């Protein structure tokens, strides 16, 4: 486990206080501009742009973390399904040149056409405003409570 106070995410800085489920090689954090409520990212700690640049150990750790985070997100958000997506390179729509996996809880009827989620991911642009509190992730009172549930699940396990 890292003792870092900040993780690099491409050119962006992610304060450790805004992360949950930190492992030896990756960390998870809540997306500030979610496509759907509960949209989270799992990223490698080491700054590499492409999946093929990860070591075997980093690659395995990333997917174990994705599985663990997915289970909690699906349960807390009472999702029917999940979109788990990697945009591996700029031409694939990667907005930050740093390996990361999007996890989006899905519900019946959340998009008119199911594949609209991919258009939203394609248009996704990552930004980090200046923030001091996890509460910046609020989208609605219910969403803030659910995000706190996800974060608490990992911080207490």
Q: Per the structure block, which two tokens stand in for 21?
A: 């489920």
- Distance (Å, whole) CA 46 – CA 34: 24
Share the mean pLDDT of the chain.
81
Dump pLDDT digits (tens) for 83-142: 999 999 999 888 899 999 999 999 999 888 877 877 777 766 555 444 333 333 333 444
The CA distance from 115 to 65, in Å, is 25
Residues in the chain: 157
Active-site amino acid positions: 100
CB 124 within 8 A of CB 69: no
pTM above 0.85, yes or no: no
Cα–Cα distance between 112 and 73 in angstroms, integer? 22
Are the CB atoms for 48 and 62 separated by under 8 Å?
A: no
In percent, the amount of the chain with pLDDT more than 70 equals: 75
Per-residue pLDDT, 5:
81
């Amino acid at each position: 486990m890292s003792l870092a106070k900040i993780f690099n995410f491409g050119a962006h800085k992610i304060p450790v206080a805004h992360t949950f489920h930190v492992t030896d090689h990756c960390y998870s954090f809540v997306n500030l501009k979610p496509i759907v409520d509960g949209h989270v990212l799992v990223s490698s700690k080491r700054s590499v742009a492409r999946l093929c640049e990860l070591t075997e150990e980093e690659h395995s750790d990333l997917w174990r973390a994705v599985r663990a985070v997915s289970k909690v997100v699906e349960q807390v958000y009472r999702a029917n399904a999940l979109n788990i997506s990697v945009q591996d390179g700029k031409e694939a729509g990667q907005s930050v040149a740093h390996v990361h996996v999007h996890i989006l809880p899905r519900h019946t009827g959340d998009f008119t056409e199911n594949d609209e989620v991919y258009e939203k991911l394609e248009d996704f642009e990552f930004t980090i405003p200046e923030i001091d509190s996890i509460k910046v992730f609020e989208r609605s009172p219910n969403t803030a409570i659910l995000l706190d549930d996800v974060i608490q699940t990992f911080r207490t396990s």
